[in-house]
């Protein structure tokens, strides 16, 4: 057996031509590029901002999360075609060009990008929804250098960031904000959704919005703002002695019922009541979930301003569904390597969050084209990349056309045809 790198014009990312069609309809690169002032001389500009950002988005989606990879990928024929260039034309931008761009946006540009990401979210719907659910959560991002905003977190025993991330109930990416690795204060939490929802309201003035988050987002500032702004919320509550007084009897009776019912793995019961912390401006509706099992009793609390629904439905059917947001964050971090926040400037790392969010949009949109009841609709991003993007392709450039030869034995040809046929349905 003899192995040589002499196969000719081959690429290992033939499926990028599918993502190119997705990117053309979403226009993520164009939206982000429009937020950045370009001081370069137009007569001497070789790579537009949209082309640089588009190259970076496609590279991240294909599994090349580091800017250094651009030096090898810039001559790849499929990447060139994905950015509307002929295989024989000039190479794409280098790593140095990408690094200069990442350090260019200032605070105002990043604020515009945040609004652009929210506008992209709104544009992803075929029609204005009657109601949306926004899941707010944070995630730890370890760093290993002297980056701005880094902070030591005793819980993780590392330096890092703790960005706040927002997805909707269907897994669409909404926005992300870089911040130090510490618990946010109430005023910081309130300011974040206020700016976000202002942008969403500009697109959808009458859409009902439900905010879901865990316990440390249930601060008085957020509760008061949500009620004043007409925002529904279902938020976790930290357990306290005041809350436990309402369920002492229920905990004892639930444990007794569990012991008296052999063969039952766990027993759950719910209780609703109104109460308020000393820092709250009013009493609010609280739901307690008491669970008894072999390891004893476990009690959780949520607070809501919704007046309908039973306690069981509010907790199990509505609040617990926010756990899916952790899967979306895991996909964003593990499959798209969003923790590559290694720039010195905080503004550059915030820009990187938006770049990785744009790559998330490409793969999420591709997955949303799949049949609803098929396994492709729920497949992980790394599997989607492996099966539909990492396809060998031989490029033959002719005078009037370009031929892309894909493997005859490619196992997922049918789903590729289906995705291409459904691309016109994407709203841009």
Q: What is the per-residue pLDDT across 237-259, written as a single tens digit (0 to 9) for each?
A: 998 888 999 999 999 999 999 88
Residue 165 forms beta bridges with which residues?
137, 176
pLDDT digits (tens, 9 = 90+) for 110-127: 999 999 999 999 999 989
Is the pLDDT at 6 greater than 80? The verdict is no
Which segment of 95-104, 111-120, 228-237, 271-280 scores lowest on mean pLDDT?
A: 271-280
pLDDT at 153 over 90: yes
Q: Which two tokens stand for residue 156?
A: 């993780």
pLDDT at 136: 94
Contact between residue 332 and residue 353 where contact means Cβ atoms under 8 Å apart: no
Q: What is the pLDDT of residue 223?
A: 95
Average pLDDT over residues 320-330: 92
Average pLDDT estimate for 208-217: 93
What is the pLDDT confidence band of residue 413, given thresholds at 50, 70 and 90?
A: confident
Using pLDDT thresholds of 50, 70 and 90, give the confidence band for residue 427: low
Closest C-alpha to 59, from 37, 83, 35: 83
Token readout for 49 is 């901002």
How many CB atoms lie under 10 A from the CB of residue 347? 19
The shares of helix, strand and coil residues in the chain, as percent rounded to the nearest 5, are 45, 20, 35
pLDDT band at residue 373 under the 50/70/90 scheme: confident
CB count in 10 Å sphere of residue 286: 19
Nearest to 285 by CA among 296, 295, 299, 275: 275
d(CA 11, CA 391): 8
Q: Let me know if 70 is exposed, middle or buried by CB neighbors in 10 A (0-12, 13-18, 19+).
A: buried
**14 within 8 A of 420, measured Cβ to Cβ:** no
Question: Shortest CA distance to 58 belongs to which of 35, 34, 88, 81?
Answer: 81
Quick check: 428 pLDDT over 50?
no
Beta sheet of 232-237, edge-to-edge order:
173-177, 164-168, 131-138, 208-213, 232-237, 296-304, 284-293, 267-275
Please report the pLDDT score of residue 185 as a whole number.
87
Q: Look-up: residue for tokens 């988050």?
A: 213
315: which 2 tokens? Answer: 């907790």
- The answer, yes or no, to whether residue 1 has pLDDT greater than 50, is yes
Q: How far is CA 15 from CA 7, 10, 62, 315, in A?
A: 19, 13, 9, 42
**285: its two tokens:** 């509706």
Q: How far apart (Å, rounded) are the C-alpha atoms in residues 164 and 196?
A: 12
Read off the tokens for 305. 């301003």
**pLDDT above 90 covers what percent of the chain?**
75
Residue 183 pLDDT > 90, yes or no?
Answer: no
> For residues 136 and 164, what is the distance between their CA atoms, to the nearest angstrom?
7
Q: H helices of 335-391, where?
A: 346-368, 381-384
What is the 3-state secondary structure of 217-269?
Answer: HCCHHHHHHHHHHCCEEEEEECCCHHHHCCCHHHHHHHHHHHHHCCCCCCEEE
- Cβ atoms of 293 and 258 within 8 Å: the answer is yes
User: Helix 95-102 to helix 49-61 angle, to the nearest 10 degrees?
Assistant: 110
The pLDDT-based confidence of 135 (bands split at 50, 70, 90) is very high
- The whole-angstrom separation of Cα 162 and Cα 156 is 11
């Amino acid at each position: 057996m003899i192995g040589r790198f002499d196969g000719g014009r081959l690429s290992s990312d033939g499926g990028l031509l599918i993502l190119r069609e997705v990117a053309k309809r979403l226009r993520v690169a164009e939206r982000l590029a429009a937020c950045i002032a370009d001081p370069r001389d137009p007569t001497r500009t070789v790579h537009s901002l949209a082309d640089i950002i588009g190259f970076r988005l496609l590279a991240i989606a294909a599994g090349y999360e580091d800017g250094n990879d651009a030096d090898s990928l810039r001559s790849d024929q499929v990447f060139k075609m994905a950015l509307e260039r002929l295989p024989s034309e000039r190479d794409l931008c280098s790593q140095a060009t990408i690094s200069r761009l990442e350090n260019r946006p200032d605070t105002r540009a990043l604020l515009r990008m945040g609004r652009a990401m929210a506008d992209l979210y709104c544009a992803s719907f075929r029609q204005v929804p009657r109601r949306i659910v926004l899941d707010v959560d944070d995630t730890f991002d370890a760093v290993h250098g002297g980056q701005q905003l880094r902070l030591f977190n005793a819980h993780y025993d590392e330096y890092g960031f703790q960005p706040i991330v927002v997805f909707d109930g269907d897994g669409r990416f909404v926005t992300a904000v870089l911040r130090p690795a510490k618990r946010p204060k109430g005023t910081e939490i309130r300011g974040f959704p206020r700016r976000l929802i202002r942008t969403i309201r500009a697109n959808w003035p009458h859409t009902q919005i439900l905010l879901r988050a865990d316990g440390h987002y249930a601060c008085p500032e957020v509760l008061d703002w949500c009620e004043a702004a007409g925002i529904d919320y279902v938020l976790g509550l930290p357990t306290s002695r005041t809350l436990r007084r309402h369920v002492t009897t229920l905990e004892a009776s639930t444990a007794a019922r569990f012991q008296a019912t052999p063969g039952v793995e766990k027993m759950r019961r719910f209780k609703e009541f109104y109460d308020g912390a000393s820092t709250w401006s009013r009493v609010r509706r609280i739901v307690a979930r008491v669970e008894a099992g072999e390891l004893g009793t476990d009690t959780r609390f949520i607070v809501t301003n919704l007046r309908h629904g039973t306690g069981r439905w509010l907790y199990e059917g509505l609040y617990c569904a926010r756990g899916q947001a952790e899967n979306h964050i895991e996909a964003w971090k593990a499959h798209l390597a969003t923790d590559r926040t290694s720039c010195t400037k905080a503004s550059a790392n915030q820009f990187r969050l938006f770049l990785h969010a744009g790559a998330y949009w490409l793969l999420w949109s591709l997955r949303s084209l799949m049949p609803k009841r098929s396994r492709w609709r729920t497949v992980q991003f790394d599997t989607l990349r492996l099966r539909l993007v990492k396809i060998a392709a031989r490029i033959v450039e002719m005078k009037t056309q370009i031929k892309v030869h894909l493997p005859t034995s490619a196992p997922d040809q049918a789903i590729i045809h289906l995705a291409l046929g459904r691309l016109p349905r994407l709203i841009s």
